A = this chain, B = another copy of it.
Amino acid sequence: MGHHQEKEALFDGLVEAARALGNGRRAELIDVLAQGERPVDELAAEINQSIANTSQHLQRLLRAGLVCSRRSGTRIYYSLASPAVERLWRALRDTAEAHTEALGDLVRAYVGDRADLNMITRDELRRRLRQGDVVVLDVRPQPEYDAGHIPGALSLPVSDLKSRLREVPQGGEIVAYCRGPYCLYADEAVQMLTDEGRRAARLEEGFPEWKAEGLPIEHPTT
């Protein structure tokens, strides 16, 4: 037992998941799939790639065991293989944020400066939900809301927000949430609502982190 060749093969095997995650487009796929299962064409649109290319990326993830797929009629739905994959993706983000100085610039270039953005923690949102003086807005695309959301949240995708502003209940403060720390949907929603004179805040991070903490969720399409 235990000669070089087997050791190399073992470690080569261990890093397969890292290689699968080691591509920006595939990471985007994982980030979207953390919201719930999606068919190939929708995923391709989400990451702005051709369907053929997206399909090949998905098969790479499949081979690495990070996702699984199921056929339903004419479409094939992909989803994360398990919560371990989400943990890996989160550990990767944490490491990247902690150590590559260059990343700060990349984050700023994409999300801008959140210093002046009204942001509340999960704990704070739970308190407010118990008090009942808050409107929670899920601004992700509809299928992601359907796959699971914070209890009592209203689905109002950012893409529709401008035209459906009147649907947002008057009165309480509004808390918008989306996919996670690198998703801008909630930022845009808060901006739009604030411009309309409403009081609005962004939930820190997003739905997968809420779920990962074991907080209550609604309608996981049972």
Contact = CB atoms under 8 A, between A and B. Distances in A.
Nearest to A90: B91
A24 B12 contact: yes
Given A18-B22, A110-B7, A95 B85 contact: yes
A176 B106 CA distance: 46
A48 B4 contact: yes
Nearest to A2: B184
Each complex incorporates copies of this chain amounting to: 2
A65 interface: yes
B2 A27 contact: no
A57 to B, nearest CB: 12
A17 to B, nearest CB: 5
A100 B27 contact: no
A88 B84 contact: no
Per DSSP, chain A at the interface is: helix
Interface in A75-102: 81-82, 84-85, 87-88, 90-96, 98-102
Contacts of A13: 24, 96, 100, 102-103, 106
A16 B96 CA distance: 8
Given A2-B188, A17-B96, 17 more contacts: A1-B184, A2-B111, A6-B106, A8-B24, A9-B106, A10-B182, A11-B25, A11-B31, A14-B103, A14-B182, A17-B92, A18-B22, A22-B22, A65-B96, A84-B95, A84-B98, A88-B95
30 contacts: A1-B110, A1-B111, A6-B106, A7-B28, A10-B109, A10-B182, A11-B28, A11-B31, A11-B182, A13-B24, A13-B106, A14-B103, A15-B23, A15-B26, A15-B27, A15-B92, A16-B96, A17-B100, A18-B18, A21-B22, A22-B22, A64-B100, A65-B96, A81-B99, A84-B94, A84-B98, A87-B91, A88-B94, A88-B95, A91-B92
